[in-house]
Amino acid sequence: AQKITQTQPGMFVQEKEAVTLDCTYDTSDQSYGLFWYKQPSSGEMIFLIYQGSYDEQNATEGRYSLNFQKARKSANLVISASQLGDSAMYFCAMREADSWGKLQFGAGTQVVVTP
């Protein structure tokens, strides 16, 4: 069964606008971690932000913030003030307890920022 679901295959966003990328996850573990990565067309995966299951505050990193709703098992990424350089594929990933070194990824959302 799919552990990470990203329902938006692609989206367009205008420069300077905010965009929310959806991510829902499925786990029975109490301890887990959620990550977002960006993959430009060059292929390299770039770490953006992390949220732990026990973190009470939503994670923020610069223009990135994570809207973590534990009861709904969702971890949406919000990118504020989009820039042209934000055009990329975005992946949500989860690490479950005791799954050393293993991230489970969603299918990704392709974001295109337009001028």
Partner 1 sequence: KAGVTQTPRYLIKTRGQQVTLSCSPISGHRSVSWYQQTPGQGLQFLFEYFSETQRNKGNFPGRFSGRQFSNSRSEMNVSTLELGDSALYLCASSLSLAGGMGDTQYFGPGTRLTVL
Backbone angles phi, psi at 45, to 5 degrees: -85, 125
Q: Which of 25, 32, 68, 90 binds partner 1 (CB under 8 A)?
A: 32
Rule CB under 8 A: say whether 107 interacts with partner 1: yes
Look-up: residue for tokens 């993959």? 39
> With binding defined as CB under 8 A, does residue 112 bind partner 1?
no
How many whole angstroms separate alpha carbon 10 and alpha carbon 25? Answer: 19
The correct pick among 14, 52, 61, 83 for binding partner 1 (CB under 8 A) is 52
Task: Report the alpha-carbon distance of residue 94 to residue 105 in Å, rounded.
Answer: 7
Q: Which residue in the set 12, 14, 16, 46 belongs to the binding site for partner 1 (CB under 8 A)?
A: 46
Task: Provide the minimum distance between the beta carbon of 111 and partner 1 in the complex, in angstroms, as a whole number.
Answer: 17
Q: Residue 108, Cα to own-chain centre: how many angstroms?
A: 9
Nearest residue to 48 via CA among 79, 17, 26: 79
What residue ranges bind partner 1 (CB under 8 A)? Answer: 31-33, 35, 37, 42-47, 50, 52-53, 91, 93, 95, 97, 99-108
